Amino acid sequence: MNHKATIQKVLIANRGEIAVRIQRACKELGIQTVQVYSTADTHSLAVQMADECICIGAAPSSQSYLNQSHLIEAAKRFKVQAIHPGYGFLSEKADFAQLCQDNDFIFIGPSAKVISQMGDKSSAKKIAKAAGVPTTPGSEDIVSSIGMALDVSTSIGFPVLLKASAGGGGKGMRVVNSLSELERNFNEAKREAMSFFGDESIYIEKYLTNIRHIEIQVLADREKVLVFSERDCSIQRRNQKLIEESPSSAMDPKLKQEIAAAAIKLCKYVGYQNAGTIEFILDGDSDQFYFMEMNTRIQVEHPVTEMVSAFDLVKAQIQIASGQVLSIQQEDLVSRGHAIECRINAEDSTNSFMPSPGLVSAVHFPGGAGVRIDSHVFQGYLVPIYYDSLLAKVICWGQDRDEAIARMKRALSELRIEGVFTTKALHLEILSHVKFIQGDFNTQFLSKELNLN
């Protein structure tokens, strides 16, 4: 297939709010959409919005959204030119990107080769180091034995972090504080990695305690790499992001320039094309940043970048995949104001964040100046038990951070999702906390300030 041909029809290989988001971008570009769905998503908003749709399997994702052959068969049946994987599921699976290419479909994302290089965290770290990007002290390669683990941990000093090489989404990580803990946790960490990712490989990094989670949105066509204002994703629970904002209150202009330059350097080194995110940890004690990982896809939190840049990242993904060179230049990307995103999940934050599937009996989404809602939820929607618990993303923009916080608190006070538990009250508690308001927080904010684990 000529990858410079116009994309006229896209198959959306995902569900929920990101499927709705991709459909909106396609419609604005005049592109037809084919929505795949599982039996649990028969009546979903994404199915209702699509031009065409097809059931690809039973509710468990292994039988539907992760079934590569069913997705390719659907793409062939509906004669699409391209497949958008969204985030999660198959979005960072190099074998799926390759399968799309082998069947003459454009994969809306980077090449299979780049996904393979950057998707494995141990490999990505070595590549970043070779590109001259700072990396966290730790093992150079996969740590295959307890003897190797002891050597690495002793050399860099405790505490250390055991990380699944194929990990993602905050899963497959264990903090180890001593030699005795290492011996207890090493094999457990390998088993956990195999259970989550089908790959027992782990590596070891120095565990830094006072850190901010900073990420750089990149967008590259065949001629240039663009970087956007950084996102701060430090408000997390068990490495799962709850609140994201742009820009970060923890960085001065010099540090912003250095981290953006590092992101460009890495993208050019691997020949990256399409949208991606390079994640860094910022050591609050030294102001040194280190490469953590690269997500070779669109991120859940991409709307905060869109709000401060007035730029549509998903439309750009599709345009780059069709072979276009973006007309926008780096100097055109001016960050304006401040944006915050709250992820509203179907969880009971008062009961160990237990998932809360069920029927949504009533919905009212907030509006007004500077408020954006990305959601797939409607009155009568049945929240399934099979997938992640994200119900809606509330994104608010303000002239400055104070206004963005005030606007978010106002928006959340208007938000109603009834019939299931949600994390709305927790977000309001965080937004009202003096340390959050002052920008004085790190990734351990929830556990240290709110006693939530």
* Active site members: 297
Q: What single-letter amino acid sits at 114?
A: V
128's tokens: 């970043």
CB atoms < 10 A from the CB of 405, how many? 19
In sequence order, which ranges of 144-280 are alpha helices (DSSP H)? Answer: 146-156, 179-197, 253-270
Spatial neighbors of 69 by CB under 8 A, at least 6 apart, are none
Radius of gyration of the chain (CA): 21
Q: Burial letters for 3-13: b for 16+ Cβ neighbours within 10 Å, e otherwise? A: eeeebebbbbb
The label of the residue with tokens 């539907």 reads 64
Q: With contact defined as beta carbons under 8 Å apart, do 266 and 278 qualify?
A: yes
Residue 291's Cβ-count burial label (10 Å; 0-12, 13-18, 19+) is buried
The most distant pair of C-alpha atoms in the chain lies apart, rounded to whole Å, by 60
Q: With contact defined as beta carbons under 8 Å apart, do 196 and 171 qualify?
A: yes
Spatial neighbors of 195 by CB under 8 A, at least 6 apart, are none
Q: How many residues does the chain have?
A: 453
Phi, psi of 229 (to 5 degrees): -55, 140
Question: With the CA atoms of 323, 66, 235 and 366 taken in that order, what torsion angle do they form, in degrees rounded to the nearest 10?
Answer: 80
Residue in 134, 358, 116, 353 with CA at minimum distance from that of residue 240: 353
Q: Tell me how far apart the terminal alpha carbons of the chain are, to the nearest angstrom.
A: 50
In sequence order, which ranges of 300-420 are alpha helices (DSSP H)? Answer: 302-309, 313-321, 401-414
Beta bridge partners, 229, equal: none
Q: Burial letters for 80-118: b for 16+ Cβ neighbours within 10 Å, e otherwise? A: bbbbbbbbbbbbbbbebbbbbeeeebbbbbbbbebbbbb
